[in-house]
Homo-oligomer: A and B are copies of this chain.
């Protein structure tokens, strides 16, 4: 089913308003979820909506949309998010990070008790569009074993960094795990194997059988393991005061979140920065290619193209998500979103 992104966003906004979100918070959350679908990151898209609604009804996630400042040190701010849904809160924290970085040149915000924030690249891109280098990281419910271990001790611990350019920002957004856990579930449901070297069984042996996979491995061997640990300390300990092993699988599965902004114009003029970034992009795009390679990509470039394509052609939704949205429409007495051709 191909769905028009504007119609989908209007629908999600209406659903969120019905369950108690303010106009602003419903708008931010709808934009985030639909943007994830536009970018091809379905796992952080509108398929989450039913879970959010259920968690709100069971009071596991709050409809508050704001944060409480616990400590304000100028460029460093510590906030408590009281298990509000993370999306509208993280949006406001990205704005705060930009505001502080404009004043101090850089900023770091540590957040605890923040329920699901979705796709980190959404927030770092917001900062980059404000001419800031934005970064964000989180530790989450344990799914990744240390190298040589047989038990998950770390979350997938995602990291995003976004750089302003003369055009769309360069958005890096990735987990420190080899693959997402969702890929294991998909392989299991299809009866397929998972790649060699990405997951281990309960004894710690590498397995390609998704049914036997009990933990993921870090990406990139011992270097990835080191970075996974760094995110654990930075996001978990500094951000949230909590280790992955202490994070419950519900609600939202996040431990601590650390985000911030750096103003490139404190290091060199913004024009010089843009000139150098443009040269770098040009060097990469015009570089000689390996045999069989059609194009050398900049991180995030594929996602950016998917956005443009799906704005034009519509967002593909699987039947399960489509049915869920229609059920929600019926339940709340709303018009369901429109197919692209309608």
Q: What is the interface of chain A, defined by CB distance below 8 A to chain B? A: 71, 73-76, 78, 104-106, 108, 110, 133, 145-151, 153, 161, 163, 170, 172, 174, 200, 203-205, 219-227, 229-230, 232-234, 236-239, 241-243, 245, 262, 264, 266-268, 272-273, 276-277, 279-280, 283-284, 287-291, 293, 295-299
Q: B104 touching A268 by the CB < 8 A rule?
A: no
**Which of A71, A108, A148 has the most CB atoms of chain B within a 10 A radius of its CB?**
A148
Question: How many Å lie between the Cα of A131 and that of B128 in the bound state?
Answer: 31
Question: How many Å lie between the Cα of A161 and that of B71 in the bound state?
Answer: 25
Instruction: Note all chain B residues with C-beta closer than 8 A to A268.
Output: 237-238, 241
Q: A106-B75, A200-B290, A291-B205 are in contact. Are A229 and B299 (CB under 8 A)?
A: yes
Instruction: Note all chain B residues with C-beta closer than 8 A to A241.
Output: 267-268, 272, 276
Q: A149 touching B290 by the CB < 8 A rule?
A: yes
Closest chain B residue to A264, Cβ basis: B238
Question: How many Å lie between the Cα of A146 and that of B200 in the bound state?
Answer: 30
Question: How many Å lie between the Cα of A200 and that of B288 in the bound state?
Answer: 13
Q: Other CB < 8 Å A-B pairs besides A233-B280, A237-B268, A241-B267, 10 of them? A: A74-B105, A76-B106, A145-B287, A146-B284, A146-B296, A153-B283, A163-B233, A170-B233, A225-B299, A236-B276
Question: How many Å lie between the Cα of A220 and that of B175 in the bound state?
Answer: 12
Question: How many Å lie between the Cα of A172 and that of B200 in the bound state?
Answer: 25
Closest chain B residue to A220, Cβ basis: B220
Instruction: Note all chain B residues with C-beta closer than 8 A to A174.
Output: 223, 226
Q: A293 touching B229 by the CB < 8 A rule?
A: no
Question: How many Å lie between the Cα of A291 and that of B276 in the bound state?
Answer: 49
Q: B291 touching A203 by the CB < 8 A rule?
A: yes
Instruction: Note all chain B residues with C-beta closer than 8 A to A104.
Output: 74-75, 104
Closest Cβ–Cβ distance, residue A59 to chain B (whole Å): 28
Q: A148 touching B237 by the CB < 8 A rule?
A: no
Q: A74-B104, A297-B148 are in contact. Are A220 and B226 (CB under 8 A)?
A: no
Q: B108 touching A290 by the CB < 8 A rule?
A: no
Question: How many Å lie between the Cα of A13 and that of B88 in the bound state?
Answer: 58
Q: A237 touching B204 by the CB < 8 A rule?
A: no
